[in-house]
Structure 1
Amino acid sequence: MTIGIRTLAGPELAAALDALADLRIEVFAEWPYLYDGDAAYEREYLGEFAAEKGSVLVAAMDGDRIVGAATASPMTGQKPEFRRPFEALGYDTSNLFYFGESVLLPAYRGKGIGHAFFDRREAAARDYGATHATFCAVVRSEDDTRRPPGHRPLDPFWRARGYEKVEGLTTSFHWKEPGSAGEVAHTMQVWMAGL
């Protein structure tokens, strides 16, 4: 299996948004996100992402098919309610680059693609002039009965890349889970690393 890793921006990024929307819905349906995705929301969200100057999408390609993707964009382009917790702790958001999602189909995991995603996004962040990269991960209870047996959290991978949880810095995202009547609030732990 030969996988190509490509950084997409501008029109090429815009052309990949439908495939990315489908991929996000499929992968985020899994633990720990349990996202009951909505295609219309995905396209709107991703359209906003693509319109932000400095946004990049790193795609893992199996031939012409996108099998994985990771996004990143300047923190200054994020919504004010998302930037607010960072600013409240004194972070200059003009120095931060936000790593949105990193999604990869199960058959392609464990082959170094995650490292390629981080390498490309970190390079884009440095090119932009950011001093730090940051992302959020959903917080789930250790005793959540929906946790699959043998699930391995990504914390060791992220730490090996130089990222650490930022003490006291969380935010909240809302999304619908399977079986929920509407969107549910989810606590998101912020991780960060210097560039």
Structure 2
Amino acid sequence: MTDNLQILTATGAELERHVPALAELRISVFREFPYLYDGDADYEARYLETYRQARGSIVVIVLDGERVVGASTALPMAEETEEVKAPFLDHGYDPERIFYLGESVLLPAYRGRGLGVRFFAERERHAQALCHEQGYAFDWYAFCAVQRDSADPRRPSDYAPLDRFWEKRGYQRHPELRTSFSWKELGEAEESEKPMLFWLKPAGQSQSD
């Protein structure tokens, strides 16, 4: 249930007024395991500018009153970086036919209300609209997740991987599709590469309950 929360979708210039709050939200949530991200607002503003400018992008935003408490991003993979596209090209996929789901972030107090399911539904609905209204043709939805050792001492005792949640949304892990992203981790002096693994779902396949 979303209670009295407001869910809106922002594209292009509509996104600009939310950038400072989105940057703050991303820095807060990604400090948690497994990302352990030591972020800064300037980098986040530059990152979010990609979604403001990219053709076909979307940001789903959750508001509690005027406060941004959650967000989820997506865009056609053709608009993404080489780090994202390279493993797909190497395995015979066409990035032009893949809709890429970026990240979902939600403050802890708002979890367990169905918003994670809503994030996937809204982004997939946007991809379908791009196909129907703007001539895109997506065969796949895709996202990636950081890989951490199950014995990592920084892993909280109550940490629950999201694999089962993603599987219920219709996504499957593809171990052959791997890349790496660089960011500055808590405790690091500078950025280092982190291993990322992709999950895929055929476009048009519905979510389970």
The question of a shared fold, defined as TM-score above 0.5 by the shorter chain, is answered with yes
Task: Give 1:9's aligned residue.
Answer: 11
The alignment partner of 1:135 has SS state of strand
Deviation at 1:73, TM superposition (A): 0.4
- Could you tell me which runs of 5 or more consecutive residues in structure 2 were left unpaired when the two chains were aligned: 132-137, 204-209
The alignment partner of 1:16 has SS state of helix
Task: Give 2:38's aligned residue.
Answer: 36
Task: Give 1:167's aligned residue.
Answer: 175
Deviation at 1:144, TM superposition (A): 0.2
Question: Pairwise CA RMSD of aligned residues?
Answer: 1.0
The alignment partner of 2:129 has SS state of helix
Query: What does 1:7-86 align with in structure 2 at a 5 Å threshold?
Result: 7-86=9-88
Counterpart pick for 1:133 among 141, 155, 160: 141
Runs (4+) off by over 3 Å: none
Deviation at 1:82, TM superposition (A): 2.3
CA contact (8 A) 1:5 1:116 kept: no
* % identical equivalent positions: 48
1:122 counterpart letter in structure 2: E
Determine if the alignment matches structure 1 residue 146 to structure 2 residue 154.
Answer: yes
Q: Distance in 2 between matches of 1:81 and 1:60?
A: 29
Q: Distance in 1 between matches of 2:31 and 2:196?
A: 17
1:193 counterpart letter in structure 2: K
Q: What TM-score, normalized by structure 1, do the two folds share?
A: 0.97
Q: Distance in 2 between matches of 1:128 and 1:95?
A: 12
Q: Distance in 2 between matches of 1:60 and 1:131?
A: 28
Q: Distance in 1 between matches of 2:151 and 2:175?
A: 22
Task: Give 1:115's aligned residue.
Answer: 117
CA contact (8 A) 2:11 2:58 kept: yes
Determine if the alignment matches structure 1 residue 155 to structure 2 residue 157.
Answer: no
CA contact (8 A) 1:170 1:187 kept: yes
- Could you tell me which runs of 5 or more consecutive residues in structure 1 were left unpaired when the two chains were aligned: none
Q: Distance in 1 between matches of 2:188 and 2:140?
A: 36
Q: Distance in 2 between matches of 1:131 and 1:69?
A: 25
The alignment partner of 2:32 has SS state of coil
Q: Which moved more, 1:143-152 or 1:72-81?
A: 72-81
Q: What TM-score, normalized by structure 2, do the two folds share?
A: 0.90
CA contact (8 A) 1:70 1:100 kept: yes
Task: Give 1:192's aligned residue.
Answer: 200
